[in-house]
Amino acid sequence: MSSPRSIMAADVGPRLALVALGANLPSARGDSPAATVCSAMDLLQELSARSMRRSSLWQSVPIDCPPGSPVFVNAVVAMQPGPDMTAPALLRRLQQIEQDFGRVRDGAVNAPRVLDLDLISFAGQRESSAWLTLPHPRAHLRAFVLYPLAEILPELVLPGQSRTVMDLAGELGPTDCRPLLET
């Protein structure tokens, strides 16, 4: 079995960046949350120096969202940003993509959204500022991140963790996150 580091270097590259995608409203670039997430993954490929790994689509019940919020469609991609791309620059680009899809940040916490792109990790870096925290502080606790990530990089160990993504996902217990069965 390969080590997590060899999986990163061989399959995605030494500058591995993980991006979690989520949507629960249609967008300017997708008539459904699933179409939005797929369209966003296509754009993220343009930011990757190599072919990126894409999870399948997952469906999750909103957590800490206003009552009546629609279910989310989620996915994760593993990419290798170009050599000149920094973590802050990638985050700015992710936020620009969200805006291009029609996301408006109005200060409402956990409100339904057309697109949410979270930078989970970037080249194993650790950073903590008012604007960017790496690795994402709650990624290791979220089924809608871990399940799709376990699908594409099950042996990966997230920065700051000691167990693989697959092990972390297995420890979550019952969740309302499952593969999206497209019709």
Active site residues: 103, 113, 116, 118
CA gap 154, 66 in Å, rounded: 32
Q: How far is CA 87 from CA 101, 120, 122, 123, 143, in A?
A: 21, 10, 6, 9, 24
147, 165 Cβ separation under 8 angstroms:
no
85, 35 Cβ separation under 8 angstroms:
no
94, 19 Cβ separation under 8 angstroms:
yes
**Would you call 150 helix, strand, or coil by DSSP?**
helix
